[in-house]
Structure 1
């Protein structure tokens, strides 16, 4: 896994030893193009940088594959995990959670120009693709079955090449991917997601983290993300 340090950025990248200064949170995440990852221009990278500017709280951000990120956070190696999903959240109800960075929505996408689909019932008889490691509502997950790929770009390509009739993906992730890969947006019903999840920072329930999380939440409130 490619890890690096950008010392001049407020949101710091590191190898993730779990050791940090009193005003630093170690954060493990997974790559979502245009949202969070090794690109400092990602949406959540910029949110972290703005929190640092507002509060002085710094973030050592490490990118891992999804399953490894969750495992290493659960083992206590990192202070925080971003983003959170409801399945993982249910196993860590006593952990600290920030105000949502974004309310992620799940939509069904069909090839550009095709009719929009709005429910799991609309997926019957179709080849439906999803992404490994991401949480879907049970009825959507059943429609996807084993047809899951490792990353969003591959999922998009498989819809473009007619290997899937429809795909299920999160926004804003796929909107950022459309821009990143210069792809014309696929058909979907923007106003009617099939699920809504909170993208939050979750942290180990220590006294130090609780103090820092209060500063993080104050900054997020000031940024209008409450």
Structure 2
């Protein structure tokens, strides 16, 4: 019992130390292939670095959000203040959108494409852990089956373990390409939601200046 207590205490200390290491003006990037990459060469990584001179610290979605919520003076990308997706109000500032990502419903190969969220009710729907899909999608009554990698949902949908999959473009297209497959059926001109991909920061004078640099470059 003592050993378990010591291990648990050590874990708490590690997590606390990690969160405290998110220093002033750290820019946290949500791991999204093609947009925020671990090698620092994602589209948003390059845009932010070129505009501000700062590197982006990449984390999985849920960890990135927790780190941002716990810091006092940091930023996160991509995010925004749209109440359909987030509860960030006063005390947070956002940049001009770097891009507007779109969310689509993907059907099994050979099935018809749909864009009616009501059809997801009671269905097994693949999604990515930690990613926001907006109240419109998340309140659909779907049975969300969440994984850490988009390619896993592609495989599950293809073999019939899922009824549908919800995913953002352009990153889902990158996942299909990596899997060597053409995108599954979806209504290409009718997304079920749109997300402005901005840099979100705690509202401080330093971060106001940081966002101005990015806005001037966009």
Alignment-derived partner of residue 70 in structure 1: 65
Alignment-derived partner of residue 180 in structure 1: 178
CA deviations on 1:2-46 (whole Å, 9 max, x unpaired) are: xxxxxxxxxxxxx994447xxxx4211221122212033322223
Alignment-derived partner of residue 137 in structure 2: 140
Out of 100, 108, 111, the position equivalent to 2:108 is 111
Alignment-derived partner of residue 161 in structure 2: 163
Q: Give the deviation of 1:89 after TM superposition.
A: 3.9
Q: Alpha carbons of 1:78 and 1:31: their partners in 2 closer, same or farther (altered >3 Å)?
A: farther
Q: How many residues align?
A: 197
Q: Alpha carbons of 1:93 and 1:119: their partners in 2 closer, same or farther (altered >3 Å)?
A: farther
Alignment-derived partner of residue 125 in structure 2: 128
Alignment-derived partner of residue 195 in structure 1: 193
Out of 207, 210, 213, the position equivalent to 1:209 is 207
TM-score, normalization by structure 1: 0.76
- Unpaired stretches in structure 1, ≥5 consecutive residues: 1-14, 52-56, 221-226
Partner Cα distance (2:90, 2:154) in 1: 34
Q: Alpha carbons of 1:126 and 1:89: their partners in 2 closer, same or farther (altered >3 Å)?
A: closer
TM-score, normalization by structure 2: 0.79
- Unpaired stretches in structure 2, ≥5 consecutive residues: 1-18
Q: Alpha carbons of 1:72 and 1:92: their partners in 2 closer, same or farther (altered >3 Å)?
A: farther
Partner Cα distance (2:212, 2:134) in 1: 31
Mapped contact 1:108–1:117 kept (Cα < 8 A): yes
Alignment-derived partner of residue 11 in structure 1: none
Alignment-derived partner of residue 3 in structure 2: none
Mapped contact 1:111–1:159 kept (Cα < 8 A): yes
Q: Alpha carbons of 1:121 and 1:19: their partners in 2 closer, same or farther (altered >3 Å)?
A: closer
Q: Give the deviation of 1:210 after TM superposition.
A: 0.8
Q: Secondary structure at the match of 1:107?
A: strand
Q: Give the deviation of 1:78 after TM superposition.
A: 5.5
Out of 92, 95, 101, the position equivalent to 2:98 is 101
Which range moved further: 169-178 or 140-149? 140-149
Q: Give the deviation of 1:191 after TM superposition.
A: 0.7
Q: Which has the higher Rg, Structure 1 or Structure 2?
A: 2
Q: Alpha carbons of 1:207 and 1:49: their partners in 2 closer, same or farther (altered >3 Å)?
A: closer
Across the aligned residues of Structure 1 and Structure 2, the Cα RMSD in angstroms comes to 2.5
